[in-house]
């Protein structure tokens, strides 16, 4: 097993133990750089100083634990910033150093197997080559959406515009949207300009542009494409400025027969705060839903994912997983990765009982039911104030920030509506809540130490 594989296995384990935002924030771009067999030392590389300090302080124990689980000879883990390490060791000709060097300084090589470690997202399109139509399993729950995507690819901007795909969490919306983008780039090369964006990114771009009085930037970026793919549009509802800007962008593209592909966790009619004219625009195109995969399809997905990893567990094991996990493909993958990890790396013989345990563990981790009170409790503990100060109408200066943070997190984590949040925290008006969301979101994007704070609070929430 080479370093990449070891690290991939470690990441697979860590991913299950920490929240997804933390995982993506801190472990994206991490590498296992060196392993000194004699001394039992491992060197982990991180993309920048900040990530290095953070991972070392927060996740050292976890990393060491997971590494030692796999290889008990490991005694010490150190951390470096990848580029600093490469500069220092530029003479060293060890294969690994060379490999790392090629990866981080030369443009990405198209034939390297994409993996979690090198999320090779193309910065021009925001597309991740890992998501393809070829590795998207089609069955009765998603065949309409799949067919619609293919029709769009054949006749961009004309056939179904916009294409609106909706469905629950973890059912493949992002995969399908990204795959559509990748296919278009592949088929039309440079002739068609594709841009994939999450609606959160769009929202924060609009907020930044408004603040800096640079609305031109938005026009430049978003109206200049042939295919705009916007993921999780539901978050745009209730943000009037952003909705309006999106409406303009939408119209500009639409009138020029540019293609718009949208995803959402629910149909347009069910996004409560969506402005009517935007809703009717969405409904004017093609709407396709993605439902829950049936057993056969779940089994097929497991096999596809296993093959992608180059490891096929016994049929009986796959059948057990497919029959137990029914409502979320991401969860299916989580269990599969764990099973592969045990078999491939720990060389453990997994009987069905053990697989059953893995399934139960995963289900528990995914369904940690977080409530509004958990969030309020974590925020007030963090700021060392009483939860009542958040809930009551207190106007004390020291509760202003905590209350705004609580509002933000209730929205982000529980997707509560703005009026509900206002009701829950000091009987505030929903515009106050929107203002709080925008303020905190801005701080998170512009102030690293503030964003650290939010991470710490989120950790508290997920650790409950
Ligand atoms: P959503 O955006 O709907 O929450 P994702 O697209 O992120 O869901 O899917 C979650 C995971 O499940 C991804 O790793 C994705 O590749 C996988 N997945 C979902 N549906 C399929 C499918 N039909 N075939 C293959 N993989 C799938
Ligand atoms: Mg998604």
Tens of pLDDT, residues 223-264: 999 999 999 998 888 888 889 999 999 999 999 999 999 999
Kindly indicate the confidence band of residue 95, based on its pLDDT and cuts at 50, 70 and 90. Answer: very low
346 compared with 163, residue with greater pLDDT? 163
Give the pLDDT of residue 115: 35
Query: Which burial class, exposed, middle or buried, applies to 90 when counting CB atoms under 10 A from its CB (0-12, 13-18, 19+)?
Result: exposed
Q: Is 330 in the pocket of ligand 1 (CB under 6 A)?
A: yes
Mean pLDDT of 48-64: 85
> Cβ distance 441 to 207 under 8 Å?
yes
Helices in 198-268 by DSSP H: which ranges? Answer: 199-211, 215-222, 240-255
Q: Is 301 in the pocket of ligand 1 (CB under 6 A)?
A: yes
Give the pLDDT of residue 99: 43
State both tokens at 307.
């093959």
Residue nearest to atom 26 of ligand 1 (CA): 136
Instruction: Give residue 265 CA to ligand 2 midpoint distance, Å.
Output: 9
Q: Is 172 in the pocket of ligand 1 (CB under 6 A)?
A: yes
State both tokens at 198.
């999450």
Could you give phi then psi for residue 81, rounded to 5 degrees? -85, 125
Q: How many other C-beta atoms lie within 10 A of the C-beta of residue 172?
A: 24
Q: How many other C-beta atoms lie within 10 A of the C-beta of residue 193?
A: 16
Vertex 315: Cα angle to 309 and 318 (nearest 5): 65
> Cβ distance 396 to 389 under 8 Å?
yes
Residue 110 confidence (pLDDT) above 60: no
Instruction: Give residue 368 CA to ligand 2 midpoint distance, Å.
Output: 19
Instruction: Give residue 234 CA to ligand 1 midpoint distance, Å.
Output: 18
Kindly indicate the confidence band of residue 463, based on its pLDDT and cuts at 50, 70 and 90. Answer: low
Kindly indicate the confidence band of residue 464, based on its pLDDT and cuts at 50, 70 and 90. Answer: low
Give the pLDDT of residue 445: 74
Instruction: Give residue 176 CA to ligand 2 midpoint distance, Å.
Output: 9
Mean pLDDT of 96-123: 43
Q: Is 411 in the pocket of ligand 1 (CB under 6 A)?
A: no
Per-chain mean pLDDT for the chain: 85
Residue 362 confidence (pLDDT) above 90: no
State both tokens at 5.
């594989």
Instruction: Write the CA distances from 463 to 12, 27, 239, 365, 378, integer angstroms.
Output: 19, 18, 31, 10, 10
Q: Which residue has the tokens 């004017």?
A: 284
> Cβ distance 368 to 18 under 8 Å?
no
* Best probe residue, ligand 1, of 146, 168, 329 (max atoms within 8 Å of C-beta): 329
The mean-pLDDT minimum among 69-78, 85-94, 304-313, 401-410 falls in 85-94
As a whole number of Å, the end-to-end CA separation of the chain is 36
Atom of ligand 1 minimally distant from the CA of 231: 2
Mean pLDDT of 429-447: 86
Residue nearest to atom 23 of ligand 1 (CA): 137
* Best probe residue, ligand 1, of 140, 169, 170 (max atoms within 8 Å of C-beta): 170
Q: How many other C-beta atoms lie within 10 A of the C-beta of residue 198?
A: 17
Give the pLDDT of residue 369: 75
Vertex 328: Cα angle to 323 and 330 (nearest 5): 110
Report which of 5, 12, 16 is spatially closest to residue 362, judged by C-alpha positions.
16
State both tokens at 264.
């959402």
Q: Phi-psi bin for 271: left (phi > 0), alpha (psi -120 to 50), beta?
A: beta
Distance CA 259, CA 250 (A): 10
Length of the chain: 464
Mean pLDDT of 105-116: 30
Query: Which burial class, exposed, middle or buried, applies to 358 when counting CB atoms under 10 A from its CB (0-12, 13-18, 19+)?
Result: buried
Ligand (nearest to CA of 290): 1
Residue nearest to atom 16 of ligand 1 (CA): 175
Query: Which burial class, exposed, middle or buried, applies to 124 when counting CB atoms under 10 A from its CB (0-12, 13-18, 19+)?
Result: exposed
- The residues that bridge with 32 in the sheet, in sequence order, are 44
Strands 41-46 vs 31-36: parallel, antiparallel or unpaired? antiparallel
Q: Is 169 in the pocket of ligand 1 (CB under 6 A)?
A: yes
Vertex 2: Cα angle to 45 and 39 (nearest 5): 65
Report which of 226, 250, 22, 255 is spatially closest to residue 124, judged by C-alpha positions.
226
What is the value of pTM for the model shown?
0.62
Cβ < 5 A residues, ion ligand 2: 173-174
Q: At what angle do helices 400-414 and 430-446 cross, to 10 degrees?
A: 90
Instruction: Give residue 241 CA to ligand 2 midpoint distance, Å.
Output: 24
Residue 287 confidence (pLDDT) above 80: yes
Could you give phi then psi for residue 85, rounded to 5 degrees? -60, -45
Give the pLDDT of residue 367: 61
Mean pLDDT of 51-55: 83
Distance CA 157, CA 234 (A): 22
């Amino acid at each position: 097993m080479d370093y990449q594989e070891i690290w991939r296995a470690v990441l697979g384990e860590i991913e299950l133990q920490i929240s997804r935002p933390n995982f993506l924030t801190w472990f994206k771009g991490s590498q296992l750089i060196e392993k000194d067999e004699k001394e039992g030392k491992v060197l982990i590389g991180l993309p920048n100083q900040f990530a290095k300090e953070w991972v070392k302080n927060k996740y050292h124990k976890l990393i060491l634990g997971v590494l030692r689980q796999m290889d008990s000879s490991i005694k010490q883990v150190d951390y470096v910033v990848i580029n600093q390490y490469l500069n220092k060791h530029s003479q060293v000709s060890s294969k690994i150093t060379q490999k790392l060097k090629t990866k981080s300084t030369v443009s990405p090589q198209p034939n390297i197997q994409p993996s979690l470690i090198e999320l090779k997202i193309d910065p021009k399109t925001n597309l991740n080559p890992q998501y393809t139509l070829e590795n998207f399993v089609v069955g009765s729950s998603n065949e309409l959406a799949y067919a619609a995507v293919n029709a769009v690819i054949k006749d961009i901007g004309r056939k179904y515009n916009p294409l609106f795909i909706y469905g629950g969490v973890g059912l493949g919306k992002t995969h399908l949207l990204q795959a559509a983008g990748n296919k278009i780039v592949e088929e039309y090369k440079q002739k068609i300009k594709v841009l994939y964006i999450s609606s959160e990114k769009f929202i924060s771009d609009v907020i930044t542009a408004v603040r800096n009085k640079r609305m031109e930037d938005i026009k430049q970026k978003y109206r200049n494409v042939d295919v705009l793919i916007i993921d999780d549009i539901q978050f745009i509802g209730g943000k009037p400025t952003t909705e309006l800007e999106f409406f303009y962008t939408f119209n500009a593209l639409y009138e020029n027969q540019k293609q718009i592909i949208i995803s959402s966790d629910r149909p347009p009619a069910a996004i409560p705060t969506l402005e009517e004219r935007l809703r009717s625009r969405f409904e004017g195109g093609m709407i396709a839903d993605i439902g829950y995969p049936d057993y056969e399809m779940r089994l097929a997905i497991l096999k596809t994912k296993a093959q992608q990893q180059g490891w096929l567990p016994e049929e009986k094991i796959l059948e057990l997983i497919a029959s137990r996990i029914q409502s979320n493909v991401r969860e299916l993958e989580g269990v599969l990765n764990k099973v592969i990890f045990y078999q491939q790396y720990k060389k453990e013989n997994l009987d069905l009982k053990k697989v059953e345990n893995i399934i139960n563990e995963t289900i528990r981790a995914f369904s940690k039911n977080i409530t509004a009170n958990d969030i309020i409790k974590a925020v007030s503990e963090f700021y060392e104030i009483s939860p009542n100060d958040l809930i009551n109408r207190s106007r004390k200066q020291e509760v202003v920030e905590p209350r705004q943070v609580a509002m933000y997190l209730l929205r982000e984590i529980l997707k509560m509506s703005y009026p509900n949040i206002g009701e829950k925290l000091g009987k505030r008006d929903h515009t106050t809540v929107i203002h709080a969301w925008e303020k905190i979101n801005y701080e998170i994007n512009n102030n690293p130490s503030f964003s650290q704070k939010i991470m710490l609070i989120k950790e508290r929430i997920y650790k409950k």
